[in-house]
Structure 1
Amino acid sequence: MEHVIDGRACKKTHREGNTLCISENGKDVLVMEMVNGKLQVVAGTNEKLFIKLADEASQVIIDLIDLDYVDTYLMNHACFTTSAELLENLIARFHIEALAGETEYFDKWQRCIQLKVLNVVSRWIKIQYQDFNNSRQLLRRLESFVNNSIKQAGFSAEAKTLREALDIEMAKCTRSRHSLVALTSYSLVGSGQTTPPSTPCLSSFSIASHHQSHSQSRRPSLAPSLLSFVSSVTPPDSPISSSQQLQSQSQSQSYNAPPLLLLYEAKEIAKYLTLADFYTFKCITAHDYLNGQWKNQSAEHKGPRNYIGTMTRRANMLTHWVAHELCVLKTPKQRKTGLRKMIEIAKLCLEWNNFHTSMILTMGLTSRAVQKLDDWQALPSRDTHVFHGLQKYLDVSSNMATYRQAFNKVKSPAIPFLPLVLKDLTFFLDGNPTHTPPPPPPQPSQQVVVMQSETMTTCSSENLINFAKFQSLARFMNRLLSHTSENYSFAGELEHFPFFFGIKFYDEEKHALDGVAEVVEQRIEGVADCYHDSQCVPCCIDKIK
């Protein structure tokens, strides 16, 4: 059986069940599997994976661009090549030339390949422009290709489209990401209970002018382990010389301010906390998850655009803030009210699919110091029952099955528990090999062994890139980012974003949540100097007991 992969040579193929292997010189170079009636790449050499981006597989428009494959490749290409090498290869592929005796083949496929290359470049700009923003040399090379080579090849309209896409992304990068999220917040407002709509795919340049037009609905273009996160929330004893001083300063600020939990309704506080974490979560891109420095614990405070670090820091501060808010309540009656209100806030967050904030607040309530309060005994059975229900989502047994089963049923808008997101992402990145395992000893009756794992295939060649790993990772990313495709129905009640850097009022009129936003954020920031101090909360609790 012969199979043409790039038009330059014929490749031998062999099948084993649902697996198709394309080989050269007796070694597999591309492995595909039939999934739901469609061949999907699961492994291949770097060269063959690249050619698959813009190959001659079909001239039919519906098969012309496999956006799932293209997006997966672009999102993860840094794991097996460099951005500079990828761009140069795309440019070379665009300038493909006919060899001796290939005129007929060349005339048939040249324009199709060039259009596919242009669509790959377009997707790269739109879903991962950070690669170009991080390298001036890479951006200049792309601009030269767009402004010169593409036009000279007769693709003026396509060059204009790419130039416009570049200008849009360059303009976005002149502003912080959170300022763009703030500016577009109202356009996302939905019911909060509907299924997230599909986002239209970027149209395919002028392919429709050479074939019949076609459009598809597409998904939106595109977070340390749990244990390490929990340890940072409740840090072990550490030799902080200024511990008592920091705790005293924080206590003084809190006790001099009116009790927050007595000033506002639980629903107001829950709404604000939900919107604050939702917008911060929305700022995190696939590039941040896959190529960021979030694994480095010291990165928590670095830079206003480190949104994973920002959300991690905020979660740690929220856990500490729970205890501080209870400490400012001077009487047992007030503390009982405070506990009930904190439980109600966490419950409301959960009802709005805000698992992250709900679970972070529950962690604060379950901390050893807070659990020592005698006021727990005075809570009504209803509140105790609700609190026990909230605690179930923090149960780590069976890989946090209670949380996972509940979250898998939610619709956008939703906020997943960030520590578990980071833990799962670590598993995808480090728990699966980037290259396929070495081949097993030769067996006369079997050339290909397909493993049960979704992300691993053993082939008769070494050093094939395990593309199934990156497909699983891309699906995980798409599901993760889809949770912010709609906004909360109450988003219009907040005009002030004090949780973002430098975001002020857009008008003089305050909206319903702006007042609570200012007070809550000031109180949360009030623990910024002491939330790392493991002795602060116990000292606060001991003082009021």
Structure 2
Amino acid sequence: MQDSDIKEQQNTTTNEIIQTTDYQKHPRKILLQDPNIDRSKWFSQIMEKHPGLRDLHERLYPIERAGCFAQIFSFGSTDVKENITEDIVIQLVMQHLKCLGLHKTQEALEEESRVQYQEHYFKNSRLKTLLRVAIMQIEKIFDIVLEPKSHKDSDTVQELIEHLINLGYEDEEEENLKEDVPIWDEPPDSDQNILYMEDTDSLQDEIKAASLNKLVEALTAQKGGGIKIETFLLTYQSFTTPKILFQKLVQRYHVPKVGESTEEEYQNKRKAIQLKVVNVLMKWLENFFSHFNKSLIHDLREFIDKILAQDNLNLANRLRSILEKKEKGFDAKKTIFEPPNLPEPIIPKNIFSPKLSIFDVNEEEIARQLTLIEFQVYTKISPTELLNQAWNKAKYKHRAPNVLAFIQRFNDVSLWVATCVVRRDKPKSRANIINKFIKIAEHCRKLNNFNGLTAILAGLNSSPIFRLKKSWEIVKQSHYDTYQSLQTEMSSTQSYKAYRESLKQANPPCIPYLGIYLTDLTFIEDGSPDYLGNLINYSKRTQISKVILNIQQYQQKSYDLQYVHQIAQLLIKLKKYDETELYSRSLEVEPRVSANKPQIK
């Protein structure tokens, strides 16, 4: 070996030692800088391994997208028309700290910033209120998908500009160019602004697609325009906003005198349309008050006092009365009446024992308490949570908190059922637990709690439980027959045909299996476009509204059952394994049978 080779080898060895030492000192730095390491799957692997981290990332995702939006669509400092000073921001933060009772922190900030705190007499945090309002106002800006750290390319910028124009956030110059046609200036019916369904059995033409003006026109037509108010109000937020809808209704209220109609004909037409507009406003207020923010309530009150009261004082008083009741929190539909004779709860003898277990409780009572817990979440689901697959899209999930809570509850119950089974060491004990859950499922069925029933069946049918042959072999035959019967009723065969028939025959109260409705909504959303050309695809919204109405109809009638706090608490705080732990435990209590060994029959 030549001297040069020896020297090169020594240098290589020395470099390897240095790299090894550097890696030991700074492993993360070396890994991030090494171009030979494939890091493409790191993110997905970390997210899969740490569900909590994945959940945190989803919650912070809007902030990442906001930063990206600001970077791509940044205005120059001269374009900012309104700004607040640093002192004002510090004042807001200090007031927020005071509201939280963090007086020492507030004083420290005051000393550090040298900004003297100005005492306010607000009970709530002004910072929190301002942020909440800001989020509501800018939420639709971020409907466009922006990945963190996306590149500033012309296509992305153009997409953002077009999106902002559609939402009405464009510059003044673009605002002047935009032609928002007032409702009474909308051209006559043509293929350019309205399409009707073909080959329908309906006596009235059904709208397939239309411009917003034509939809509002049909909604408030003098002799009925083929649009149901309920259907429209359930779905309009998928294609416009409450503010724009209100503006269109106000435009529609001001009926101009056109054509050669006589004064009598004009007055009849005007009164009929105005009555329809007010009727829509009443139903909107009565059933969807959550759509009205402070600004919209202010606009509505001005319309009542300055316009409607001049034309029809009686209608103005009726609309004002509904508004005032809603603002005070009164809801006729939710008025509490004295409950009828409720069935006596089945209380275990050790109900007050700190060692109370769910296995001390009668199966029927467990089913009752499960049902009350689930119904409480189910009734909170609002129509807007069911639009645009909000529960299934990261950027919209904040719009569907109750749907997500209901889905999480279903998953928790399923995991809990499986956990209760695999925790037992002996096959007989596991079989007894399976027997108990079959009886609970049967009682859920009697209570028309199809969601709870399906969650229990999902737990029993999960791989870690289904594979426990030794346990299933000693399940009571009568219970196994019940299990098979429930399985058949909730089978997914022919799009859950058997279950859908059972649901039709069920008398409320009832908790349907929400998963089927979500599947139906997904099928409609994915199978039809939101727009046909430039027209709103209203036939799609009609289909969506039918599903939402099916969900809503079972929210009205509550269960006449007594809530038992001690039992309910056990069912709220469910102790459960995750799926990996479940399968590991399943293999532990009943190992796989080796193919080389004869199986005992």
Q: Does the 8 A contact of 2:184 with 2:251 survive in 1?
A: no
For 2:446, the equivalent position in structure 1 comes to: 351
Contact 2:222/2:272 (<8 A) preserved: yes
* Aligned equivalents of 2:566, 2:367: Cα separation in 1: 14
Secondary structure of the residue aligned to 1:378 is coil
Structure 1 297/339 Cα, relative in aligned 2: closer, same or farther at 3 Å?
Answer: farther
Of 263, 284, 290, 1:124 maps to 284
Query: 2:548 aligned with 1:388, yes or no?
Result: no
How much does 1:466 deviate? Answer: 3.1
Name the structure 2 match of 1:200. none
Structure 1's 299 and 109: CA in aligned 2 closer, same or farther, altered over 3 A? closer
TM alignment of 1:356-435, pairs within 5 A: 356-373=451-468, 374-435=470-531
* Conserved 8 A contact 1:267-1:345: yes
- 1:282 partnered with 2:439: no
The 8 Å contact of residues 326 and 339 in structure 1, kept in 2 or not, is answered as yes
The answer as to whether partners of 1:94 and 1:113 remain within 8 angstroms in 2 is yes
Partner of 2:267: 107
C-alpha deviations, 1:440-466, integer Å up to 9, x for none?
Answer: xxxxxxxxxxxxxxxxxxxxxx54433
Partner SS, residue 207 of structure 2:
strand
| Same amino acid, percent of matched pairs | 23
Matching of residue 166 in structure 1 with residue 323 in structure 2: yes
**Could you tell me which amino acid in structure 2 is paired with residue 126 of structure 1?**
E
Q: What is the rounded CA distance, in whole Å, between the counterparts of 1:37 and 1:285 in structure 2?
A: 32
Instruction: Give the corresponding residue for 2:569.
Output: 518
Q: Please state how far the C-alpha of 1:343 moved relative to its aligned partner.
A: 0.6
The letter for the 1-side match of 2:274 is Q
Measure how far apart 1:9 and its partner are: 11
Deviation at 1:405, TM superposition (A): 3.1
1:55-66, aligned counterparts within 5 Å?
A: 55-57=221-223
Deviation at 1:346, TM superposition (A): 0.8
* 2:440 partner letter: I
Instruction: Show the 5 A alignment for 1:199-218.
Output: none
In structure 1, C-alpha distance between the alignment counterparts of 2:202 and 2:258, rounded to whole Å: 38
Q: Tell me the secondary structure at the aligned position of residue 408 of structure 1.
A: helix
The aligned residue for residue 358 of structure 2 is 260
Q: Which amino acid aligns with 1:43?
A: A
State the one-letter code of the partner of 2:299: R
1:386 maps to amino acid: T
3-state SS of the aligned residue for 2:505? coil
Question: Where do 1:32-181 residues align within 5 Å?
Answer: 35-57=201-223, 69-99=228-258, 101-102=260-261, 104=263, 105-133=265-293, 136-151=294-309, 153-172=310-329
* Equivalence map 1:441-520=2 (5 Å): 463-489=534-560, 491=561, 493-494=562-563, 513-520=564-571
Residue type of the alignment partner of 1:429: E
1:496-524, CA deviations, whole angstroms, 9 ceiling, x for partnerless residues? xxxxxxxxxxxxxxxxx3332123223x1
Letter paired with 1:139: I
1:259 and 1:325 in contact (8 A); partners too? no
Alpha-carbon distance, 1:313 to partner: 1.0
Supply the AA of the counterpart residue of 2:316: A
User: Judging changes above 3 Å, is the alpha-carbon distance between structure 1 residues 115 and 299 closer, same or farther for their aligned structure 2 residues?
Assistant: closer
In terms of fraction of residues, the more helix-rich structure is 2
Counterparts of 2:282 and 2:407 in 1: how far apart (Å)? 33
Root-mean-square deviation (CA, aligned residues, Å) is 3.5
Q: Does 1:319 pair with 2:414?
A: yes
- Closer/same/farther in 2, CA of residues 10 and 293 from structure 1, 3 Å limit: closer
* Kept in 2: contact 1:274–1:357 (CA 8 A): yes
SS at match of 1:314: helix
CA displacement at 1:42 relative to structure 2: 3.4
Q: Write the distance in 2 (CA, Å) between the matches of 1:150 and 1:190.
A: 47
Q: 1:184 to 1:288 in 2, by over 3 A?
A: farther
| Residues 374-409 of structure 1, C-alpha deviations (whole Å, 9 max, x = no match) | 322111211122222223345333223332333233
Q: Partners in 1 of 2:568 and 2:412 — Cα distance?
A: 16
Question: Aligned in 2, Cα 1:311/1:84: closer, same or farther, shift over 3 Å?
Answer: same
Select 1:269's aligned residue among 366, 388, 391: 366
SS at match of 2:292: helix
Greater shift, 291-300 or 104-113, is seen at 291-300
Cα 1:49–1:164, aligned 2, differ >3 Å: closer, same or farther? same
Asked if the contact 2:415/2:579 (under 8 Å) is kept, the reply is no
2:209–2:539 contact (8 Å) kept in structure 1:
yes
User: 2:459 is matched by which residue type in structure 1?
Assistant: G
- CA separation in 1, counterparts of 2:186 and 2:395? 51
Query: Which one has more relative contact order, counting CA pairs under 8 Å at least 6 apart?
Result: 1
What SS does structure 1 have at the residue aligned with 2:228?
helix
- Confirm or deny: 8 A CA contact 1:340 1:379 kept in the other structure: yes
For residues 487 and 42 of structure 1, the distance between their equivalents in structure 2, rounded to whole angstroms, comes to 36
Instruction: Call closer, same or farther: CA 1:471–1:326 in 2, change over 3 Å.
Output: same
**Secondary structure at 1:294 match in 2:** helix
Shift of 1:307: 1.1
The alpha carbon displacement at 1:111 in A equals 1.5
Q: Secondary structure at the match of 1:379?
A: coil
Deviations for 1:179-231, whole angstroms, at most 9, x for unmatched residues? x99x8676687999xxxxxxxxxxxxxxxxxxxxxxxxxxxxxxxxxxxxxxx
**TM-score using structure 1 length:** 0.64
Distance 2:204 2:340 in 1: 37
Deviations along 1:76-130, one digit per CA (max 9) or x if unpaired, are 2223333222111111121223257555242231122111111111111122222
TM-score by length of 2: 0.59
Structure with the greater alpha carbon radius of gyration: 2
Could you tell me how far apart the structure 2 residues matched to 1:466 and 1:188 are?
Answer: 45
Give the distance between the partners of 2:438 and 2:277, measured in 1 at CA: 54
What secondary structure, in the 3-state scheme, does the structure 2 residue paired with 1:349 have? Answer: helix
Partners of 1:45 and 1:463 within 8 A in 2:
yes
Change (3 A) 1:259 1:159: same
Deviation digits for residues 346-369 of structure 1 (CA, Å, limit 9, x no counterpart): 111122221111011111011111
Structure 1 residues 154, 411: closer, same or farther in 2, change over 3 A? Answer: same
| Higher-strand-fraction structure | 1
Contact residue 76 and residue 290 of structure 1 kept, 8 A: yes
Letter in 2 for 1:120: V
